[in-house]
Structure 1
Amino acid sequence: MLKRETATDDGRGNKVMVVVDSSIEAKGALQWALTHTVQNQDTVILLHVTAASKSGCKSSGDINQRTYEYLCSMKKNLEIKRPEVKVEIEVRQGKEKGPTIVEAAKREGVSLLVLGQRKQSMMWRIRTIWAGKRSKSRAVDYCIQNANCMTIAVRRKNKRHGGYLITTKRHKNFWLLA
């Protein structure tokens, strides 16, 4: 288990924020957080970031029904699996995903931020750089470099070898066999 030194002495535990969506990487990050970092009395905050509407309207309650149902079912499943852990849902809107995530983590006062990281093929990376498009990995890198709390990007290594590749400020693609 990853030990965190920011545990509170009042019995409430730590706050762990996991960025979630419907991707396999986000599910893997949540699974890793539950098995490697979350302890009894901790609070898990499931953060979902949506793009800000282009019309300029910023309605925080304006999320689509499918997303809301997905987050509620995820919360319910976690409460069944780990009843000793408090689970919260948070939905944020922002133009750019990275700064929105960092701001949410800062506002909630989390001690650990966990993100799923996708492996991109070399061809995809070259095409993205050439086209000048932003990618999700930039958001992950932004969070790792700018968050005030410990930030970990998690990616499953593969089925054959098992384990996870962990990226933090100090370690890039560190293989954790667990």
Structure 2
Amino acid sequence: MEVGGHALSRRVMVVADPTRESAGALQYALSHAVVEQDELILLHVENPSSWRNTFSTFLRRPSHSATSTAAATFLEGGAGDHVDFLEEMRWACKLAQPRVRVRVERVAMEGKEKATTILFQSMAFGVDVLVIGQRRSLSSSLLGYKRPGGSLKGAKSIDTAEYLIENSKCTCVGVQKKGQNAGFVLNSKTHKNFWLLA
């Protein structure tokens, strides 16, 4: 969109986790969702009650050589346990889109569900596009995710991505990476299982 000859910048948020799904979502965002003047926000929702989170930031201090190697491998399927995955995601963004502003945000769940925390943060930052990696199991594909009332409580079959797609005020895209060069399967409010070639 242009106003007075200048393109308006957008805020694109990617839900950042140390998973293949999150790596696929970042790859999609960098190749199809952001342009030069946009701001990319990497949001990681931490669960303060998880013992693993307590040790992960204390033990993971990447070396400079590990950083450059892991940045290349991150977009190919996720970071290893020896590196800070958020720094690797930031590094991968700078390599792929050097002119895009990148911000990393870590927030605690504070007793809320992860999906509602992400939803709140996307509104607080005024996000235009929300991108989240999505894993679909056979049972959830067959049974569907829809639940009356829009709540995740007691509904283990609803995944975070589907909840965000249905309840987000901005455009929300659930991304599944299909193989190294096979492309992406995208889900949004208006498109289900849309295949996008790499």
* Same topology, TM > 0.5: yes
What is the aligned partner in structure 2 of residue 134 from structure 1? Answer: 156
What is the aligned partner in structure 2 of residue 168 from structure 1? Answer: 188
Over 3 Å counting, the alpha-carbon distance change for 1:85 and 1:63 in structure 2 is: farther
Alignment deviations for residues 11-50 of structure 1 (CA, whole Å, 9 cap, x no partner): 6611100001111010001001100111001111001112
SS at match of 2:159: helix
What is the aligned partner in structure 1 of residue 64 from structure 2? Answer: none
Identical amino acids, percent of aligned pairs: 37
Structure 2 residues without counterparts, runs of 5 or longer: 61-80, 144-153
Is the counterpart of residue 112 in structure 1 residue 129 in structure 2?
yes
Cα drift, residue 51 of structure 1: 2.0
Question: Any runs of at least 4 consecutive aligned residues in structure 1 with deviations exceeding 4 A, and if so which?
Answer: 7-12, 123-126
SS at match of 2:84: helix
- Pairing partner for 2:45 from 44, 49, 55: 49
SS at match of 2:31: helix
Q: Are the equivalent residues in 2 in contact too, given 1:51–1:96 (CA < 8 A)?
A: no
Name the Cα RMSD after superposition: 3.0
CA distance in 1, matches of 2:197, 2:90: 27
Q: Which amino acid aligns with 2:197?
A: L
Alignment deviations for residues 82-118 of structure 1 (CA, whole Å, 9 cap, x no partner): 2200000011222311101110100000110000011
Size of the aligned set, in residue pairs, is 159
Cα drift, residue 125 of structure 1: 8.3
The residue correspondences of 1:21-100 to structure 2 (distance < 5 A) are: 21-53=17-49, 64-65=56-57, 66=60, 69-94=84-109, 95-100=112-117
Over 3 Å counting, the alpha-carbon distance change for 1:158 and 1:138 in structure 2 is: same
Structure 1 residues without counterparts, runs of 5 or longer: 55-61, 127-131
CA distance in 2, matches of 1:40, 1:89: 18
